[in-house]
Chain A
Amino acid sequence: MSERARIAALHLAVIALLFAAQFVLPAYHHGIVSRVMVLAVFAIGYNLVFGYAGMLSLGHAMFFAAGMYGAGLPVYHGGWGIGPAFLFGIACGAVLAAGIGLLALRTSGVAFMIVTMMFGQVAYLLALWFGDWTRGEEGLTIAQDLRVVGPLDLTDPTTRYFVALALFSAALLASLALVRSRFGRTLVAIRENEERTRMLGYDTFRTKLAALTVSGALCAAAGAAYALLFGYMGAGFANVPYSILPLLWVLVGGAATVIGPFVGTLAMFYLTDLSNDLLNRNFPDWDISALGIVGLALVLLILFFPKGVMGTVRARWLPWLP
């Protein structure tokens, strides 16, 4: 099998596996996997900037939230249809990312991280400030009758699973095509040595801006889908932890691998779930926040497993893995 065919087969197999899983998974896991697929799109978007272009952003929650509110508020307040709302949400994320990029990409390294964190914080505060529209942390629930598009009822678990799978497949294949294109190779070149890349005649600023915009659009697609599929939007999704989570998922799954973000999101969901259960059972009077486990995972990963699952697989066994 040629390398190209091997890569295509592997990624299509993941999609096929998820398709088949819908028929065998028990209801509880069925729900989790739907959620994981949507959030994996968020991680895929983050991976493009963090993994491939090597830019550590701590403000990506704002793009997720832009999609969430961009799609959810018009439905909730304006009675928009699901389709236009979804597209509008994506557009909000892309425009926001391009605007933030024009500013933040003037910096790099640590300054970029701080600037994105601050813009992310501003976005969160804005969601609180416009509490009349967003109801802040408490959030809004989108009623069931607003979440029907033609014959599709997005509140039905099976429909939800397939819509999530469709979105995830599109994002996965788009990211695969993107990182294997000239654009993707240029991103890696910028990560490895930006000054050299500039002196090879690349407009590195524009390339990074394009990457951030696409990333923003993907994250917004995840946010929009989350609002429409699960019917909830709240300012908490714009806060700092939701900028940290995609970083964690990508690190767990393997930065700069195409499947990594999904693997990481899935693994962390179940890990958090299991350890919560375990701790609650053994220490019933402790207050456990999922973030404690997130913190521990981050430290252990960066110390002992910096390549993540798929990064390690690539380094040890499958050097062709994109």
Chain B
Amino acid sequence: MGFGPYLLLATLEGLVMAAVLALTALGLSLVFGVMRVVNVAHGEFFMLGAVLAWAVSNAVGGHPAIGFLAALVVAPLAVGAVALASERLVLRRLNYNPEATIVATIGLLYILQQVALTFYGADARPVVAPFNVRLQLPWFGYSAYKLSVIGFSLLLLGLTWFVLTRTKIGLIMRATQYDRETATAFGIAVDKVYAGVFVAGAMLAAIGAVLVVPIRQAHYLMGHDPLLLSFIVVIIGGLGSLRGTMVAALLVGLSDGILSVFFSPTLAKIVATTAVALVLVFRPQGLFGTAQR
């Protein structure tokens, strides 16, 4: 294969990564943007989505598509329920204090990992893709499922964007983000908004995970990379900026995909993580965001 087709393949792989990453990072960004807390357990919601997708599709049986569709519905809902419980039982009791929340969600991270280890085990397991079609390009064949992941993810991002900018729910969320006290004064049930946002954030990560399990296997430690990459996306895009998050997801997903094809993944991670830390140090509003205060 020549360099051109090789680059095309890397770009396609990068786009698939970017699509999944955008969903996951959007969830993290949403939670930070509205609630002003960092959810360190976000990657574990992703992991839980993947593990549950395996469990559901395995339990359903029949044609892989049926199992996959069932997983696409059930796994995010179940993860949403876990997120709701965490929000009610832990975050709300901490009054969303930023540092206490970080400590608590670190705890949550290890608890969820332990639960997955206990009930799912230490093996990596695949989920069969709902359809197995290869599109024959002039240079290589490419999985149609992967392309549909990009499409589905774009659809969901568009939907989220619509909800945030064009609906009353979005307006309420932005009002809460802008000023918690004023929102309360205007009769907005802030704690319900917070619960909703936290659940929605977790579900976005879970959907991303369900989409990814036919490509990458489910494993109880798989939450770490999405968390770090989501942090990177959210930081480069500007903490709490949704538009920035989407642009940054594209950038990071693509470069991660392309870099890891051409370079050692460890070196790529070292360079990327250092670069992002420096962005946060010298340009805390992100590369695309505007200063927030």
Contacts and interface: CB of A to CB of B under 8 A. Distances in A.
Direct contact of A and B (CB under 8 A): yes
B217 interface: no
Contacts of B107: 294-300, 302
Given A129-B270, A296-B111, A244 B106 contact: yes
B106 A113 contact: no
Interface in A84-137: 103-104, 106-107, 109-111, 113-115, 117-119, 121-122, 125-126, 128-129
Contact of B228 (A121, A128, A295): A121
A299 B41 CA distance: 12
A114 B280 contact: yes
B108 A299 contact: yes
Interface stretch (A19-27, A143-151, A263-271, A284-292): A284-292
Contacts of B118: 286-288, 292
B274 interface: yes
Contact of A110 (B94, B102, B108, B115): B102
Interface residue tally on A, bucketed by range: 35 or more
A305 to B, nearest CB: 12
Contacts of B274: 118-119, 122
Between B38, B111, B277, B284, the greatest number of chain A beta carbons within 10 A of the residue's beta carbon is seen for B277
A303 interface: yes
Contacts of B104: 298-299, 302-303
A125 B273 contact: yes
Interface residues of B, number: 43
B282 A106 contact: yes
B281 interface: yes
B59 interface: no
Contact of B277 (A115, A302, A306): A115
B281 A103 contact: yes
A189 B13 CA distance: 51
Contacts of A244: 106, 110
B98 A295 contact: no
Given A107-B281, A296-B111, 4 more contacts: A117-B231, A118-B231, A122-B270, A303-B94
Interface of B: 38, 90, 93-94, 98-100, 102-104, 106-115, 117-118, 121-122, 224, 228, 231, 235, 239, 264, 266-267, 269-270, 273-274, 276-278, 280-282, 284
Closest 6 CB pairs of A and B: A292-B114, A295-B110, A298-B107, A299-B107, A118-B277, A295-B111
27 contacts: A103-B277, A103-B281, A107-B280, A110-B38, A110-B98, A117-B231, A118-B273, A118-B274, A118-B276, A119-B274, A122-B270, A122-B277, A125-B269, A240-B224, A287-B118, A289-B113, A289-B114, A292-B110, A292-B117, A293-B114, A295-B110, A295-B112, A296-B110, A298-B107, A299-B90, A302-B100, A303-B94
